[in-house]
Structure 1
Amino acid sequence: MDTDRLPGCYRHPDRDTGIRCTRCERPICPECMISASVGFQCPECVRAGSGTGHAPAANAPRTVAGGVVAGDPHLVTKILIGINAAVFLAGLLAPALVVQLELLGRYAAYFGAPVQGVATGEYYRLLTSVFLHAEWWHIAGNLLAVWVIGGPLEAALGRLRYLAVYLLSGLGGSALVYLLTPPNVPTLGASGAVFGLLGATVVLMRRLRYDMRPVMTMVVLMLVLTFVPFGGSLSVSWQAHVGGLVTGVLVGLGMVAPTAGRARSLVQWGTCAAAFLLAAALILLRTAELT
């Protein structure tokens, strides 16, 4: 018997955890832990402490990052998956839509045609491209990763903070693509956002003192798949992967910083603002080069 193994969550026995409820001392995983004035509590202890279950907003159950615990902890993940699927189907029905939404720096189809791309002011492409996919296996792989990685992360951070990680990671990936790739090469896909969710998960697991080997193995494997060539009609954008991963790590550090109260919110949203401004600086730098 392995005596060094961490105990399993009392609600999810297959999830090892080093965190315990400060009231009943049962082991709890990130999906179950709720921030308390000191440490974390399990859902049952929080309900018992609130009496009727209608506690004031200031005392409402909180996630490990300070977000409000939602009835459906995976709602935003489901919505993001739905949006990606809907845009993919729309692209199949109207291929011209993909051309208008994919990430292009500066491009003209032929001499004399109107120039289009981010450099001409179409900055929306930096985010709309994150919801586009070229092949069924492309969207299937990305959305499976969003569900597997994003679902638990949303439960741990809360809806708004999780959405911020997703969108900023997608923007960070697009910014690095725009900066480092030829302006006439189209790029699309949610992989930058996916890598950002993975980066934030690494930070979260480190903060909770979980066994880092599984998630680090996943990071290494995904980076190997990023840089090792493989067959197929769609090339991998390492710039999007690296940009998303770095952004996810930075925003994740702000989200789970060991602070509380107003200071925690200031650190969290200040980090988000810094990540946005960094991406904006890269975008403006590249635009200046292309115009």
Structure 2
Amino acid sequence: MNDALVPPEGPIGAQPETPVCTRHTDRPTRLRCTRCDRPMCPECLRDASVGMQCVDCVNEGQRSVRRPRTLAGAEVSNSRPIITQVMIALNVLAYVVTVAQSGSPMNNSRSGLFTATSMIPDLTANGEWWRIVTSGFMHFGLIHLALNMAALYVVGTIVEQELGKLRYSAVYFLSLLGGSAAAFFFGTVCQQLAGASGAVFGLMGALLIVFKRQKRDISTIVVIVGINLVSNLFTNASLLGHLGGFVIGGLLTLAMVRAPAQNRNLYQIGAVVAAVVLLGVMFALRAAQLDTDAEVIMEIARTCR
């Protein structure tokens, strides 16, 4: 019998037990994170400037790194323009419903949904306030829809990346309301209004401001906006609605990109609130003007026929 002493760590030449991955305890590994020195399996390691780091250390490092931001304060990213795509989907869905109801892709304005949601100033002033928003999702025929959605996709994709989803949503909907407010306040009570043009022109105004602040060439945008506005004089399109959206979208974006980095969010919220108040006052004043007795309303109806 051999009575030789055995070292406490085991017999000479014995291999120590292989460590297991910290995140997957069923996986033996001899790899370690160069930052925290914990054992990690290949799946949990990422290439780093020196050696390899575990996913926990990589995520912690990313949180500590200051990410670049746009002029408006949005994080620079290559994410999909989700809000733009959702707006396009809603407009297309609304059009499909009106076509199904009317049985015509070009005369869909005869559908019940279109009649109940397009903006008719005297009905809007007499309590049907949802029309100032819902009218922005209705379109007079397939060509009207296609032109607006094509412009929304091209311009909206760029502006959404620059403003970020929340700011972009604010500019979109306030531009939509700006178009409705301008047509409602300055226009006649006879015109039936519908379309996303106010929002689209607001995004064009936003893109113009962003490119100007970035010192990029804005001549193409100016020409496109000018051609569209001039063409309104020879069609039934609402020039007031387009101008209202363009002005609100441009001014709101200007306030966002010029807001000081310190307290940026506070300044931008203030600009949004100011726009909401302005549009609310316009709607209220015009509604008060149109809040007439039944005899005058009947006279308006006869005039519009």
For normalisation by structure 2, the TM-score amounts to 0.70
Q: Which amino acid aligns with 1:280?
A: G
Q: Which amino acid aligns with 1:183?
A: V
Q: Which residue of 2 aligns with 1:249?
A: 250
Higher relative contact order (CA 8 A, sep 6+): 1
* C-alpha separation in 2, matches of 1:277 and 1:71: 34
Structure 1: segments with no counterpart, 5+ residues: 1-46, 107-116
* C-alpha separation in 1, matches of 2:249 and 2:121: 23
Q: Does 1:96 align with 2:79?
A: no
Q: Which amino acid aligns with 1:146?
A: L
Deviation by residue 1:171-206 (Cα, 9 ceiling, x = unmatched)? 000011111222232110000111100001111111
1:77 to 74, 81, 84: 84
Q: Which residue of 1 aligns with 2:73?
A: 66
* C-alpha separation in 2, matches of 1:244 and 1:214: 19
Deviation by residue 1:37-88 (Cα, 9 ceiling, x = unmatched)? xxxxxxxxxx99xx82553399455333112445624111111100000011
Q: Which residue of 1 aligns with 2:130?
A: 124
* C-alpha separation in 2, matches of 1:258 and 1:273: 15
Q: Does 1:221 align with 2:237?
A: no
* C-alpha separation in 1, matches of 2:135 and 2:284: 18
Q: CA shift at 1:104, angstroms?
A: 1.1
Q: Which amino acid aligns with 1:104?
A: I
Residue 275 to residue 58, structure 1, CA distance change in 2 (3 Å): farther
1:160-199 aligned at under 5 Å gives the runs 160-199=166-205
1:198-237 aligned at under 5 Å gives the runs 198-227=204-233, 229-230=234-235, 235-237=236-238
* C-alpha separation in 1, matches of 2:158 and 2:117: 30
Q: Is the 8 A contact 1:70 1:158 kept in 2?
A: no
1:9-28 aligned at under 5 Å gives the runs none
1:142 to 145, 148, 166: 148
Q: CA shift at 1:225, angstroms?
A: 1.6
Q: Which residue of 2 aligns with 1:133?
A: 139
Q: Is the 8 A contact 1:250 1:275 kept in 2?
A: no
SS of alignment partner, residue 256 of structure 1: helix
Q: Which amino acid aligns with 2:240?
A: Q
Residue range with higher mean Cα deviation, 65-74 or 274-283: 65-74
For normalisation by structure 1, the TM-score amounts to 0.73
Q: Which residue of 1 aligns with 2:240?
A: 239
Q: Which amino acid aligns with 2:253?
A: G
* C-alpha separation in 1, matches of 2:65 and 2:189: 49
- Which runs of structure 1 show a deviation greater than 4 angstroms over 4 or more consecutive aligned residues? 57-61
Q: C-alpha root-mean-square deviation of aligned residues, in Å?
A: 2.2
Q: Which amino acid aligns with 1:265?
A: N
How many residues in Structure 1 have an aligned counterpart in Structure 2? 228
Q: Which residue of 2 aligns with 1:281?
A: 281
Q: Is the 8 A contact 2:84 2:157 kept in 1?
A: yes
Q: Which amino acid aligns with 1:240?
A: G
* C-alpha separation in 2, matches of 1:193 and 1:120: 24
Q: Which amino acid aligns with 2:163?
A: L
* C-alpha separation in 2, matches of 1:70 and 1:284: 40
